[in-house]
């Protein structure tokens, strides 16, 4: 290869490394006499020797005549991605270009390879121009690939390079275009009819994905040029060349070149315009991608993933997605019973507390908690020896003495003394009745037929008892209430009158129905959760039930879709968190 051509390749390689971000090193090798071996032609950086791995990839591309991508692999101690592309001429490998760049995902690897493929087109353009004028062939492409070059500078450069009277540069998609720059510069404040005509001409080239030349030539006589013709008539019978800007295999804008005289673009100029448009499209597209706001970047990533799901690849993924979608649809259409879980505790509707009637000592206690007692059955007996002695005292001593004194007073006709003795007799009789009542109350009996809920004095015989001290609790057997504890997350769905079912731990084979009667404004902390208390009534009490039994209850709270049943807890939690942070 001649020295000028080698200099052009070196210049092109430097611009390529500036265009694609993250390139660490790059080489271009030349195939030696078609033998599958090659010598290094140019490299970047020039003062740094390329790695052996990069040379191997470049030679492999020449040998296989295919593009190669070798992703980074920590196990193989490969910390960067390697890419190689063969340089073909009439199907024969003339060499290859290989680059080493920072590790990146597969999508960005594909974008880098596409940029490399586009760069080969303007390498060919540079080589052709280098044969005519080395300076002309490198300077304008070098200026075109500067990072600081603005759309207005690009329009000015293209107008100068292709001798155009006006250049219009726009970026966008098939639905919307935004004019970034014109040469000569024109400030566009609103979209007039002329501006719409310019955009329609650009859309026409983007829709057909080809370069459009007007007046038509033999090469594009079969193209649709209606919008080009309208624009040419609008601006005065101009010569137009509309080229779509392409990146990632889709149009991202358009370039419109005008000559206001009957001087058509030659085939060579059209080819150069298309090569320049390819480079401009890549430059502006990557610049826009780097300057995207975060919200737009997230939205585009989501759109990209959505299009991949709907694309021709990933059959099993689409089947899985279809199955999931159908499952969600079925869950949303099929209703199920919404049942609220609650802890349940069985209690007697009435609980009678038995207390000590007076201070004394326990004599006997034949029953204890869990025993069923009949009404009037003995629960316990207090020691009554002192009371019996006091009863005998009042009967045999005090009352007998007063009766004797009363008879003596009557015999002596001492009326005043008789009245005093009668009052003393009444006092003594009251004391006797009090002692007798205490004796009767020392025998504590069951006030009703029921079960002893609490109290076991069998191990406390002879122990002192204080007046009012609790001895037993008795609950009737035929009347119960169910105390339910519901999580605070579900309390809003509970209403008075709702029904439910209860299964007790002691009788798991039996199901008891109930109805909610009261919602108590009480809560308690249990195992890190706050539980609200409800009162419910059994529909049909069973004789085998006993107060104190515990179990699990489920309250019927209506019907909802299965999807709602599965997700309502999560949705409620998300609402609470959103309110906490942004409410």
Q: Which residue has the tokens 């200099």?
A: 7
Measuring CA to CA, which residue among 45, 70, 48 is closest to residue 58? 70
Tell me the per-residue pLDDT of 145-164, one tens digit each, with 9 for 90 and over. Answer: 555 568 888 888 888 888 89
- Residues 173-185: what's their mean pLDDT? 87
The pLDDT of residue 259 = 87
Q: Show the domains of the chain with their CATH numbers.
A: 1-139 (3.30.450.40), 148-313 (3.30.450.40), 352-472 (no CATH), 479-582 (2.40.30.170)
Does residue 244 have a pLDDT over 70?
A: yes
Counting DSSP H helices and E strands in the chain, the numbers are 14, 24
Task: List, edge to edge, every strand of the sheet that includes 450-454.
Answer: 352-355, 470-476, 450-454, 372-373
Mean pLDDT of the chain: 82
Does residue 226 have a pLDDT over 70?
A: yes
Tell me the per-residue pLDDT of 54-87, one tens digit each, with 9 for 90 and over. Answer: 888 888 888 888 889 988 886 777 888 899 988 8
Residues 509, 557: Cα–Cα separation, whole Å: 24
Rounded to whole angstroms, what are the CA distances from 534 to 101, 501, 578? 68, 14, 30
The more confidently predicted of residues 251 and 14 is 251
Tell me the per-residue pLDDT of 441-498, one tens digit each, with 9 for 90 and over. Answer: 888 888 888 888 788 888 888 888 888 888 888 887 777 889 999 998 888 889 999 9
Using a pLDDT cut of 70, give the percent of the chain over it. Answer: 89
Reduced to 3 states (helix: H, G, I; strand: E, B; else coil), residue 84 is strand
Q: Is the pTM of this model over 0.75?
A: no
Q: Which of 218-222, 239-243, 521-525 is the least confident region?
A: 218-222
CA 65, 35, 76, 50 torsion: positive or negative? negative
pLDDT band at 143 (very low <50, low <70, confident <90, very high): low
Structural contact between residues 343 and 531, judged by C-beta atoms closer than 8 angstroms: yes
């Amino acid at each position: 290869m001649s020295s000028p051509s080698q200099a052009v390749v070196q210049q092109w390689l430097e611009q390529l490394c500036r265009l694609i971000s993250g390139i660490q090193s790059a080489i271009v090798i030349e195939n030696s006499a078609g033998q599958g071996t090659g010598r290094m032609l140019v490299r970047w950086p020039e003062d740094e020797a390329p790695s052996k791995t990069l040379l191997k990839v470049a030679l492999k591309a020449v040998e296989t005549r295919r593009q190669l991508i070798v992703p980074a692999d920590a196990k193989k101690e490969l910390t960067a991605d390697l890419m190689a592309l063969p340089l073909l001429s009439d199907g024969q490998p003339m060499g290859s270009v290989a680059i080493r760049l920072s590790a990146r995902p597969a999508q960005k690897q594909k974008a880098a390879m596409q940029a490399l493929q586009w760069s080969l087109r303007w390498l060919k353009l540079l080589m052709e121009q280098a044969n005519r004028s080395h300076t002309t062939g490198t300077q304008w492409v070098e200026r075109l690939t500067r990072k600081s070059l603005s759309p207005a500078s690009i329009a000015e450069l293209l107008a100068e390079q292709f001798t155009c009277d006006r250049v219009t540069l726009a970026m966008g998609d098939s639905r919307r275009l935004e004019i970034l720059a014109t040469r000569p510069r024109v400030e566009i404040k609103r979209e007039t009819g002329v501006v719409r005509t310019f955009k329609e001409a650009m859309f026409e080239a983007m829709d057909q994905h080809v370069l459009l030349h007007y007046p038509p030539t033999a090469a594009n006589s079969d193209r649709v040029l209606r919008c080009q013709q309208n624009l040419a008539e609008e601006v005065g019978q101009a010569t137009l060349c509309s080229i779509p800007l392409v990146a990632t295999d889709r149009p991202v804008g358009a370039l419109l070149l005008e000559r206001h005289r009957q001087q058509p673009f030659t085939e060579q100029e059209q080819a150069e315009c298309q090569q320049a448009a390819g480079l401009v499209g890549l430059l502006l597209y990557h610049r826009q991608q780097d300057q995207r706001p975060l919200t737009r970047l997230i939205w585009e990533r989501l759109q990209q993933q959505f299009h991949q799901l709907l694309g021709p690849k990933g059959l099993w993924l689409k089947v899985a997605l279809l199955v999931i979608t159908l499952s969600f649809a079925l869950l949303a259409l099929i209703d199920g019973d919404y049942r609220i879980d609650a802890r349940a505790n069985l209690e007697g509707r009435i609980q009678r507390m038995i207390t000590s009637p007076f201070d004394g000592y326990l004599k006997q206690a034949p029953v204890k908690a869990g025993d069923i007692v009949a009404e009037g059955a003995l629960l316990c007996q207090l020691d009554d020896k002192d009371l019996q002695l006091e009863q005998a005292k009042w009967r045999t001593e005090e009352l007998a003495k007063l009766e004797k004194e009363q008879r003596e007073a009557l015999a002596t006709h001492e009326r005043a003394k008789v009245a005093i003795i009668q009052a003393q007799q009444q006092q003594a009789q009251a004391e006797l009745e009090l002692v007798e009542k205490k004796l009767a109350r020392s025998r504590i009996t069951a006030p009703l037929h029921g079960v002893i809920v609490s109290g076991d004095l069998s191990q406390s015989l002879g122990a002192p008892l204080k007046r009012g001290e609790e001895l037993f609790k008795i609950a009737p057997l035929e009347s119960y209430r169910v105390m339910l504890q519901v999580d605070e997350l579900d309390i809003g769905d509970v209403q008075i009158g709702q029904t439910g079912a209860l299964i007790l731990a002691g009788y798991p084979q039996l199901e008891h129905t109930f109805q909610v009667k009261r919602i108590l404004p009480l809560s308690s902390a249990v195992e890190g959760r706050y539980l609200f208390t409800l009162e419910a009534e059994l529909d049909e009490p069973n004789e085998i039930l006993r107060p104190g039994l515990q179990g699990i209850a489920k309250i019927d709270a209506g019907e909802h879709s299965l999807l709602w049943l599965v997700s309502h807890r999560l949705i409620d939690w998300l609402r609470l968190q959103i309110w906490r942070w942004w409410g």
